Structure 1
């Protein structure tokens, strides 16, 4: 009990200290915005009264001051955001699970994103951050934010135009499945799987001899398309109980999930648009619901271990 009280007192102390930094950063940003607005106003007035040169020269003073202030405080903002993740989020995670840690600059490596076979397009631009990892009972797991994109280029009379398209934006969850699979088994949303099925053979993520696995759960087959090179192993993994658990997990998700079982791991992709664990700049750190939403996602991810019964060690790694 005393340990819990001390932990909360320590967290409150850190919050109070960071709140001072946050206010300074927020006030400086506001001053910068005022200076930028003043620069624009001076320029507009100068042009309106037909003294363009005076407007241009006059706007440079607040503009330069604003830019210098902005870049100076931007370094402080980065340090503040890092301290928030390491100290505030890091401490709060321990209330969910003592083993949980956060590594803001780490994430899911791009090679693992590709080898997970969750997606059928190789990224041209890849960002990942905020790796949270831990152990639930005997199962090691982790998850990170990922934003993967590919580009297309079109040519017209004005030159080449590059357009970026999102492959995936959200959280990818990885757990030790305690089984070395002989082949990969991939479960994708039915609509996406139908659309890409015709060009698997020529894609960088070629499924080779993979076949569609027909499963006995009608609802599961309506929602997902399952691919594997080994029909028997796929059915061994996707037992009736496992399929029901995946359907239940999918109902709790904002969008349809994708899952793969490959090597000795299970990967689950949760499409999400919100960035998590970001320190507020223009709202107080002392708000009572500061971490409620973000921590609910962490709890949700940890609950997957129990939802999918991954702690039941029915197989041993060979």
Structure 2
């Protein structure tokens, strides 16, 4: 998919400048790897010739030099990555929609992740980044990468060990649905709760008197379970056309999505293992396919507004 690099001279100039910086960083990393390798070689040679002092000195000098170089380049790496997201990804977004912006150090606030009701497990560790926002015709939308985890503790001979488990890793998409819902309506993958076993059953959030809504679309009911405390509103939202659109959208994803309608917003969680919008270190920025993956995911999110027909304002906000 064309990400607009070939027709953007200003972006080419930015990429050429950043490529110089990338090569410097890559060479520094390569040197540190060589130094760490030499450190091990010195130690092995020292032991083989039964001169451990020489081996230790060689190991220490090489390892310390490598560590110092690695830490010194740290600030340059942060600046390079930030410049890439702001100037390269930010510029490429304009080829999809002029309104699109990226804020690398922002994301989806944890309170909004919780209030989406897409997940019933409380997170003990929450990370988010790369907030992208914009408008598609009449509809405002935004999305960000999210990694939420919970922890369990197990006893060992040496004390307690903390184990981290992923609740969700991927992208959470939010759109203005132009309707102030009276209650929450949540659509989750079938079998969602069983994945957490007994721990899950003890750590659920309470959302009031929520019922499972039986819907007429058999394919939809085979794929999802719908929860709401208002049958009428849930059916008003999940029209036959909307259910078909959600099924079509889900069919384009590798893993089953989750959807919720809360207050005046629609939330969609896309489980993804890939980390998007990251600057390459060991491959060239001048690769014509550099932004193809990032461009595809943003275009996909942008087109959800049309996929789900969110610009058709069948309601007004009350």
TM exceeding 0.5: yes
* Structure 2 SS opposite 1:132: strand
Question: Is the 8 Å Cα contact of residues 209 and 229 (structure 1) preserved in structure 2?
Answer: yes
- Misfit runs of 4+, over 3 Å: 4-7, 193-204
Matched, 1:18 2:18: yes
Shift of the alpha carbon at 1:152? 0.1
Q: Who is 2:238 aligned against?
A: 238
Q: Who is 1:284 aligned against?
A: 284
Shift of the alpha carbon at 1:52? 1.7
Shift of the alpha carbon at 1:203? 3.8
Instruction: Flag the 1:197–1:158 CA change in 2: closer, same or farther, 3 A.
Output: closer
Structure holding more helix per residue: 1
Shift of the alpha carbon at 1:73? 1.1
Q: Who is 1:268 aligned against?
A: 268
Q: Who is 2:164 aligned against?
A: 164
Structure-1 separation of matches of 2:253 and 2:5: 34
Structure-2 separation of matches of 1:5 and 1:184: 42
Shift of the alpha carbon at 1:206? 1.4
Shift of the alpha carbon at 1:54? 1.9
Question: Is the 8 Å Cα contact of residues 201 and 208 (structure 1) preserved in structure 2?
Answer: no
Instruction: Flag the 1:197–1:26 CA change in 2: closer, same or farther, 3 A.
Output: closer
Q: Who is 1:73 aligned against?
A: 73
Q: Who is 1:138 aligned against?
A: 138
Paired positions, count: 315
The 5 A counterparts of 1:14-93 are 14-93=14-93
Q: Who is 1:186 aligned against?
A: 186
Question: Is the 8 Å Cα contact of residues 169 and 273 (structure 1) preserved in structure 2?
Answer: yes
Question: Is the 8 Å Cα contact of residues 201 and 207 (structure 1) preserved in structure 2?
Answer: no
Instruction: Flag the 1:261–1:178 CA change in 2: closer, same or farther, 3 A.
Output: same
Question: Is the 8 Å Cα contact of residues 178 and 313 (structure 2) preserved in structure 1?
Answer: yes
Instruction: Flag the 1:5–1:155 CA change in 2: closer, same or farther, 3 A.
Output: closer
Structure 2 gap ranges (5+): none
Shift of the alpha carbon at 1:208? 2.3
Shift of the alpha carbon at 1:53? 2.0
The 5 A counterparts of 1:181-220 are 181-193=181-193, 203-220=203-220
Structure-2 separation of matches of 1:157 and 1:81: 42
